[in-house]
């Protein structure tokens, strides 16, 4: 398939406006458009067209039992596709447009290919201006998963989107690097008026708690599913966000990490190694471990920067031809919960507990 590539970084230009108008036409005709959002790049199609939605699964190589998020231009448009409630209105007022997705009972206008036959649909109104303008011009909700090939990290730059989707879609729009860098927070509105956190993201549990309603965190957010446990957000059961290089999370102080890696590099096997290091520790690791490649993850206290960098670094690490990649185990608070959730999956739960 021929893929057209256009920039929508500056919407004041005639070329960007034309590109968005053409992209909207492609969506209306049942085609596929990769577009930027503030979380990650999305792979979009008309959410009311079952054939268009099926072609998303094909382009990504995604199992068809993993439902899609539908994107709307305005929070109030959700009521056309889902049964909304007063709690939805409060969430929308506070956090939308933005990196929040809300799961609610679905209306019949949304085909089963989008919801994977669940009785619910996930709705999000992105903040990115080009994304919202695209949805508005298309005049239909846009179903969009992250625009990566199934199993690889979500694309947070135009270059990542091109790498995974060139030749698989009709058009790719360049909107620069994603501001947040991790996928949206997903909450389900429960019948009793509480929230169930299915996927942590840029909107944190503390942010949600300001609404005053009870919030439960789904077990799968923090770890593996227990045998027999029901999968509430089907995407959580798949190995996800994974680099090709095996990733190990180090749970210990900087000195304990240094000692562990020194031991590893002086052992018999001598694997080629790389580490994601907090910016403050980069020069320490470079001088203490000259054989190891050091990638700067962001400042220790600045979890938002780490979130913005993570997926790009996982892709970068795969280009280094190393045998093992290491990263610090994040603290599961605030935005750290989203980092923890993505990183334990990327590491396939390989956490190395170090003393000290």
Which residues of the chain form contacts with ligand TXA (CB under 6 A)? 37, 39-40, 42, 66-69, 101, 103, 115, 118, 120-122, 124, 144-146, 183-184, 186, 198, 233-236
146 binds Mg ion (CB under 5 A): yes
**Binding piece for Mg ion, criterion CB under 5 A, among 106-114, 119-127, 143-151, 324-332:** 143-151
Rounded Cα gap, residues 193 and 195, in angstroms: 7
101 binding Mg ion? (CB under 5 A) = no
Instruction: Please say which residue, 225 or 256, places its beta carbon nearer to ligand TXA.
Output: 225
Write down the least CB distance from residue 224 to ligand TXA, Å: 15
Strand stretches in 218-344, DSSP E: 247-251, 273-278, 293-298, 324-328
CB of 307 to ligand TXA, least distance (A): 12
Query: Is residue 23 within 8 Å of 173, Cβ to Cβ?
Result: yes
Cβ nearer to Mg ion, comparing 42 with 111? 42
The dihedral through the CA atoms of 6, 12, 15, 19 has a sign that is positive
Tell me the C-alpha distance between 157 and 139, whole Å: 26
Nearer to ligand TXA, 40 or 257 (CB): 40
Residue 261 contacts which entry, Mg ion, ligand TXA, none (Cβ below 5-8 A, type-dependent): none
Q: Which residues pair with 100 in a beta bridge?
A: 185
Which single residue brings its beta carbon nearest to ligand TXA? 235
Q: Which is nearer to Mg ion, 180 or 292 (CB)?
A: 180
Q: Least separation, in Å, of the C-beta of 242 and Mg ion? A: 12
Nearer to ligand TXA, 104 or 295 (CB): 104
94 exposed, middle or buried (CB, 10 Å; 0-12, 13-18, 19+)? middle
Q: Order the strands of the 120-124 sheet from edge to edge.
A: 4-7, 171-174, 33-35, 42-46, 142-143, 69-71, 120-124, 100-105, 185-189, 195-199, 215-217
> Could you tell which of Mg ion, ligand TXA, none binds residue 39, using a CB distance below 5 to 8 A set by kind?
ligand TXA
Least separation in angstroms between CB 235 and ligand TXA: 2
User: Least CB distance from residue 246 to Mg ion, whole Å?
Assistant: 21
Distances (CA, A) of 289 to 84, 293, 354: 55, 8, 17
Is 39 near Mg ion (CB under 5 A)? no
101 versus 204: smaller Cβ distance to ligand TXA? 101
Nearest C-alpha neighbor of 35 from the set 147, 127, 143: 147
- To the nearest whole angstrom, how small is the minimum distance from the Cβ of residue 210 to Mg ion? 27
**CB nearer ligand TXA, residue 146 or residue 204:** 146
Q: Is 233 among the residues that bind Mg ion (CB under 5 A)?
A: no
**Given phi > 0 = left and psi -120 to 50 = alpha, else beta, which region is 253?**
beta
**b/e sequence 122-150, b meaning 16+ C-beta within 10 Å:** bbbbbbbebbbbbbebbebbbbbbbbbbb
List of residues contacting Mg ion (CB under 5 A): 146
């Amino acid at each position: 398939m021929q893929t057209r590539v256009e920039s929508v970084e500056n919407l004041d230009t005639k070329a960007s406006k034309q590109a968005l108008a053409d992209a909207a036409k492609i969506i209306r005709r049942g085609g596929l458009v990769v577009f930027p959002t503030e979380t990650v790049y999305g792979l979009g199609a008309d959410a009311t067209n079952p054939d268009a939605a099926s072609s998303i699964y094909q382009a990504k190589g995604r199992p068809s039992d993993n439902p899609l998020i539908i994107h709307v231009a305005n929070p109030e448009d959700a009521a056309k596709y889902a049964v909304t409630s007063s709690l939805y209105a409060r969430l929308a007022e506070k956090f939308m447009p933005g990196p929040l997705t809300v799961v609610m009972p679905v209306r019949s206008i949304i085909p089963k290919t989008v919801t994977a036959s669940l009785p619910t649909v996930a709705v999000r109104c992105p903040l990115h201006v080009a994304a919202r303008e695209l949805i508005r011009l298309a005049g239909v909700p846009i179903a969009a998963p992250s625009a990566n090939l199934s199993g690889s990290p979500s694309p947070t730059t135009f270059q990542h989107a091109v790498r995974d989707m060139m030749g698989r879609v009709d058009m790719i729009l360049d909107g620069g690097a994603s501001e947040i860098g991790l996928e949206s927070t997903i909450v389900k509105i429960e019948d009793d008026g509480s929230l169930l956190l299915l996927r942590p993201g840029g909107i944190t549990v503390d942010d949600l708690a300001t609404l005053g309603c009870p919030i439960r965190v789904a077990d799968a957010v923090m770890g593996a599913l227990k045998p027999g446990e029901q999968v509430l957000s089907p995407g959580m059961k798949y190995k996800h966000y994974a680099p090709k290089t095996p990733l190990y999370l180090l749970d210990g102080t900087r000195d304990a990490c240094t000692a562990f890696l020194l031991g590893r590099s002086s052992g018999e096997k001598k694997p080629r190694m790389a580490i994601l290091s907090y910016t403050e520790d980069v020069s320490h690791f470079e001088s203490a471990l000259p054989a190891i490649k050091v990638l700067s993850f962001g400042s220790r206290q600045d979890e938002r920067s780490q979130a913005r960098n993570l997926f790009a670094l996982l892709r970068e690490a795969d280009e280094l031809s190393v045998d093992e990649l290491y990263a610090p185990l994040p603290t599961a608070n605030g935005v750290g919960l989203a980092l923890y959730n993505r990183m334990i999956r990327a590491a396939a739960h390989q956490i190395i507990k170090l003393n000290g």
